[in-house]
Structure 1
Amino acid sequence: MNVNELKGQTAHLINLNNINLIMGRNGAGKSRFLRDIEAMISQSNHLFSVRYVSPERAGTFKRDGNVLTAMSNDPSWLRQTRAVNQANNFKAASAMLFREAETLYLRRLASTPEIRMDRTRNFETDRLSKVNQLLTNISLEMGNADFEFRSLADGQTISPDAISSGESEAVALASEILYFFDTIDPTKFNVLLLDEPDVHLHPDLQARLGKLIIAMLDEFNNHADSIAICLSTHSSPLVCSLADSQYVSIGTKNFAVDTVELKPTSAELRKIAPFFGHPLSLSLSEDAALILEGEDDERVWQQAARTSQGRIKVFPVLAGSVDQQGELESFCVDLLGTLYDNPIAFSLRDGDGVIDQPLQHRPPIRRYRLQCYAIENVLLSDPCLAVMGTTWEGFIAAATKWVEENPEHPDKISIHELAGSDDRLRHKKIKKIRQLVCAVLGCKKPWEVVVGQAIGALMNEDIANSNMLVFFLGAEMVSDIIFRNAE
């Protein structure tokens, strides 16, 4: 049973995938959106099997007789108690569901020969191990009468109310996810609505939770057409842990807009994922994404950041082409505001011979065009020549001598043209001879290192003074990116 969209009374989720990420700022209405969908499709229980996991999940992961009685007496009790932002006794119910998941798994094991005959598979390897992959200091073990927590340090049993809130949260969420998969009804469309599952989890745990979901989808891929997991989240580690999966699509929920159109996570998210995937380090270093057109630019800016010893706070993101750069810009325009307060990112394109046509900014993306053909043209600016121990006049002399000594070299004409140029071929393509320029001057450094070192050595006063490197890069870009945090 393949379903392409989910509709609530007002909410509308379009282009479903197996995992559907719903991003949006606080107050955008993500929780209400998911509950609206849950309330509507739960009425069609002959078509759908739906579970909603609320964002504030209280209680202790310990079976509670009162909860068991309530769940047994009223099949709708669990749904009704969780159709809110804050669910009391959530984790106690999760403990009940985990026990049920064990029973369901064992029944499946008994009725599925290919699992039963595989001696490496059992409840501990297929289920408990997945829960324990989320834990670092404790483990969940099968006790004599019930599951119990044990310290990895000394093997002592720990009471459920003594473990950390993050550990309790991780176990409860894992239990909910495992129970969902072990209760899949192949005759219905099965929907799991996870409302901010990242709450109270360390970023590393958030990423591991994403891997758990993917692992379960891999196990149940024969039912892929009847499974949809919808997550509302602010978590960049969770998003990025899912980024490479074929199962994942992403959409943005905005305030007062009740239609979310999902798009598959394609090259855009995979390219930007390393930046989003390290929010703690980035919040400390204040790095900003810098979308670049090619690998050459990436190496230059990596060197510039190193040379500046932390003054240049950028995280180079490789696009690969002008078209991909535009796609990445559009992707970040939609996504950045859902992850960060006061977001900012940059995009730098080659000049490609275009003169005096600045790019329009697309907040929060600030866009720039090099004021030369490409980043290698910067190599001929005075500061870069100084890194190689010479001047423009020194290059002309060295180039003239080199041409005389290498009359048969295939790039002789290009070097001769460059030495005779009155603007250092600023707006022409010199890619073919960029490393040769270094060789002519007897410089053993790669050209990207030369350019990166010159950029990294720029000072704030260079913007006001006559500096050819600033002219080639573009004064606005230098001011905004290199000296973004200068006082």
Structure 2
Amino acid sequence: MGRNGAGKSRFLRDIEEATNRNKQHFYVRYVSPERAGSFKRDGNVLTNMSSFPDWLRQSRAVNQANNFKSASAMLFREAETLYLRRLANTPAIRMDPTRSFETDRLSKVNQLLTNISLVMGNADFEFRSLADGQTVSPDNISSGESEAVSLAAEILYFFDTIDPTKFNVLLLDEPDVHLHPDLQARLGKLIITMLDEFKSHADSIAVCLSTHSSPLVCSLADSRYVSIGTKSFAVDTVELNPTSAELRKIAPFFGHPLSLSLSKDVPLILEGEDDERVWQQAARTSQGRIKVFPVLAGSVNQQGELETLCASLFRTLYDNPIAFSLRDGDGVVNQPLEHQPPIKRYRLQCYAIENALLTDPCLAVMGTTWEGFVVAATKWVRENPEHPDTAHIKELAESNDRLQHQKIKKIRQLVCAVLGCKKPWEVVVGQAIGSLTNNDLVDSNMLITFLGAEMVSEVIFRNAA
């Protein structure tokens, strides 16, 4: 992954040139980023491919390949022949009635198509409309459909021509071009499916992609085969690291890039599920004013790893990236976290998010005040002397700081019960956060004190004039 101008295409072409000079050890195919033409066989292309062994490689050594899709159509016809030979020489496939070129190859192409299908005609492959079954000329299908078929043909041809005595490399330069986000994701699944089919050769196959597509990356993220790296301008190396639990955690943020770009949501990395539920409720209560997309880390260690990953990814995806990370206070007082651009990092000014339940705005959501809670808690303690948490409720009611920097996880829902509130504590805190206004930043507000004024100002009121 990398920004425009970072040199991703040049990087892949350099790999192609280097491996092509060492043909005794490498089999390499390069798929250029601009794939022009129509997916139909062309006699001139056939002549060039047959007469000049290096013609196809040279014609694709530039970003714009005028006859790319015509060549893809030729390769797909050749892939059919190769598959039939493999079928004839492999009894395990030949004896399986469910295996054929249509099921093993053609169906994979058609999984990428929604309005048409590619079928075996009398003399050649044909496109058929799914609406009325009529034949559609290759020149009349959409650019995205043509792109999908061509890419699928290239991918299938590569796998059906791998050489088990060499290291086989498929270089896909921005395969997401012209494809709808859902189609980008399906293309990723096709690649993984083919790697699964050829897993016995996994140690001798590499599929290298350069892309700007978050849906494509996310569709690949769950695979054990996949690693990810970023290409920077004037840097000639890319360090690839296996996709991790961290990438899978941030993947939902990338999953719907259109809706997120319209809503201007910003990822907010959170330590635990409790925090996630609170901020989801806060966003709902604010009626869209709080524009954050909660991303669950799961632990403070994973949160650090997720911050590092996001800092790297966002710089390669967005012009002016911004994301937030919010950690528990855990008893730490007045020790702000250093920002990790583009990640802005904050620490709660209370032990954990449930401590905010004892602030005046949260108590107001439950229909009471601190004084009202003390009265209710004292009564509850008197009536429940044998309850295992009686001592904790008594300590809270008698505290001077509402146990701001102490752990109250054991009694957080009990606090609601003592007050006769049937709402889950996460809903109470989320509703109070979602109801904050700009005036609360100026006036004294205990909830902002517990959350941290800097965080509230920059996260909750990020878009305020």
TM-score interval w.r.t. the shorter chain?
A: over 0.9
- Give 1:437's aligned residue: 415
User: Residues 41-440 of structure 1 correspond to what in structure 2 (within 5 A)?
Assistant: 41-440=19-418
- Cα distance, 1:474 vs. partner? 0.6
Residue 317 of structure 1, CA deviation = 0.5
- TM-superposed CA distance for 1:386, in Å, is 0.2
Partner of 1:449, secondary structure, is: helix
CA distance, structure 2, for counterparts of residue 56 and residue 335 of structure 1: 24
Tell me which residue corresponds to 1:458. Answer: 436
* CA positional deviation for 1:359: 0.6
Task: Specify the code of the residue in structure 2 equivalent to 1:477.
Answer: M
Q: For each residue in 1:114-152, what CA deviation from the matched residue of structure 2 results, as whole angstroms up to 9, or x when unmatched?
A: 111111110111111100110010110100000010110
Query: Which residue in the other structure is 1:26 paired with?
Result: 4
Quick one: distance in 2 between partners of 1:117 and 1:317? Answer: 49
After the TM superposition, list the runs of 4 or more consecutive aligned residues in structure 1 that deviate by more than 3 angstroms.
none
Report the alpha carbon displacement of residue 216 of structure 1 after superposing the two structures with TM: 0.5
Cα distance in 2, alignment partners of residues 256 and 371 from structure 1: 42
Q: Secondary structure at the match of 2:229?
A: strand
| 1:308-331 Cα shifts (integer Å, max 9, x gaps) | 111111110000111000000000
Per-residue CA distance 1:240-273 (angstroms, 9 max, x = gap): 0001100000001000000101000011101000
Structure 2 Cα separation of the partners of residues 96 and 483 of structure 1:
57
Deviations along 1:314-368, one digit per CA (max 9) or x if unpaired, are: 1100001110000000000110111122111100000001111111111110000
Separation (CA, whole Å) in 2 of partners of 1:299 and 1:365: 21
Q: 462, 467, 474: which one pairs with 2:445? A: 467
Greater mean alpha carbon deviation, residues 294-303 or residues 338-347:
338-347
Task: Provide the rounded CA distance (Å) in 1 between the counterparts of 2:162 and 2:87.
Answer: 15
Helix, strand or coil at the partner of 2:442: coil
TM-score when normalising by structure 2 = 0.99
C-alpha distance in 2 between matches for 1:392 and 1:91? 72
CA shift, 1:461, in A, is 1.4
In the TM superposition, what is the alpha-carbon distance from 1:404 to its structure 2 partner?
0.2
The RMSD of aligned alpha carbons is 0.6
AA at the equivalent of 2:417: A
Once the two structures are superposed, what CA deviation does each residue of 1:137-170 show, in whole Å capped at 9, x if it has no partner?
A: 0110100000010110000100000000000000
Deviation at 1:88, TM superposition (A): 1.0
User: Matched residues in 2 for 1:278 and 1:227: separation?
Assistant: 31
Task: Give the AA of the match of 1:146.
Answer: D
Residue by residue over 1:27-70, the C-alpha shift from the partner in whole angstroms, topping out at 9 and shown as x without a partner, is: 00000001011001101111000000000011110100000000
Query: Which runs of 5 or more residues in structure 2 are unaligned?
Result: none
Give per-residue Cα distances to partners, 1:276-310, cap 9 Å, x unaligned.
11111101111111000000000100111111111
Q: Supply the distance in 2 between the matched residues of 1:31 and 1:317 (Cα, whole angstroms).
A: 32
SS at match of 1:193: strand
Between the aligned partners of 1:395 and 1:264, the Cα distance in structure 2 is 51
TM-score (norm 1): 0.95
Letter of the structure 1 residue corresponding to residue 394 of structure 2: H
**SS of the residue 1:359 aligns to:** coil
Structure 2 residue aligned with 1:4: none
C-alpha separation in 2, matches of 1:433 and 1:416: 11
Q: What is the aligned partner in structure 2 of residue 5 from structure 1?
A: none
User: Within 1, Cα distance between the matches of 2:83 and 2:291?
Assistant: 50
- Find the aligned partners of 2:420 and 2:387 in 1 and give their Cα distance: 17
| Number of aligned residue pairs | 465
Q: Secondary structure at the match of 2:221?
A: coil
Higher relative contact order (CA 8 A, sep 6+): 1
* Other structure's SS at 2:164 match: coil
Secondary structure of the residue aligned to 1:260 is: coil
